Chains A and B, each alone.
Chain A
């Protein structure tokens, strides 16, 4: 009989558990999102330059709106592209 320590799992039991998402703005107390900072905003767009949804970034609604606003302003000022490929 194999003791309990020797039981081997066929797949890693921790693999499916995803860490809980959180809103980084709430967590770190960031109140203002700068539209002149494309290196920060690039975290919230995908490779094509589209704004990522809340279900992926984990932002709260309040800050998702601000992120979206900042990204759109940055696009207007040609700091972020409207459409592209291989942004990251």
Chain B
């Protein structure tokens, strides 16, 4: 029994019902071929990093499942490829660390590097489900600004020293 993860982007132009039914269609497809669905993650509407087929945003879905048969993946991918409502898809086999990571992520047990993000996720749970706000980017820029500031300070220090030294010589 191997664990896989298929992520796909649904065309956002469709009505909400159509988007949901597209996702449900694939879940049913997997269930009907003896798959154990582990988790369905509706990541929601996100901005694409580059336009695909003149679309600048997409609705992301991620389905984790356990499958016995690798030929199932080929059938699934063929169906995804034929579907005009799907902009992009990616199927990945999860190794044991990937399985553990996803499990931890669902239960909110992600370690140090995810602390900020865990807070962010909790923030997002409060209001409407929004895809990745601009917060982490802002935090990152703040961090870089800080390092720049310290660098500037260290650069300034020797100059000040030389200036005082020169005045003492006089």
Contacts and interface: CB of A to CB of B under 8 A. Distances in A.
Interface of A: 8-12, 14-15, 24, 28-32, 34-40, 42-43, 73, 75-82, 84, 88
B42 to A, nearest CB: 13
Contacts of A76: 88, 90
Contacts of B75: none
Contact of B111 (A30, A34, A36, A88): A30
Given A10-B165, A36-B62, A39-B137, 4 more contacts: A8-B164, A9-B161, A31-B97, A42-B140
B34 to A, nearest CB: 26
A39 B88 CA distance: 20
A38 B46 CA distance: 12
A20 B157 CA distance: 23
Contact of B132 (A24, A32, A38): A38
Interface of B: 7, 9, 43, 46, 48-50, 52, 58, 60, 62, 88, 90, 92, 95, 97-98, 100-101, 105, 111-113, 117, 132, 136-137, 140-141, 144, 154-155, 157-158, 161-162, 164-165
Nearest to B157: A12
Given A10-B158, A78-B52, A88-B140, A40 B113 contact: yes
B158 A12 contact: yes
Contact of A81 (B49, B58, B117): B49
Nearest to A76: B90
8 contacts: A28-B111, A30-B111, A32-B98, A32-B100, A35-B92, A38-B49, A39-B136, A79-B46
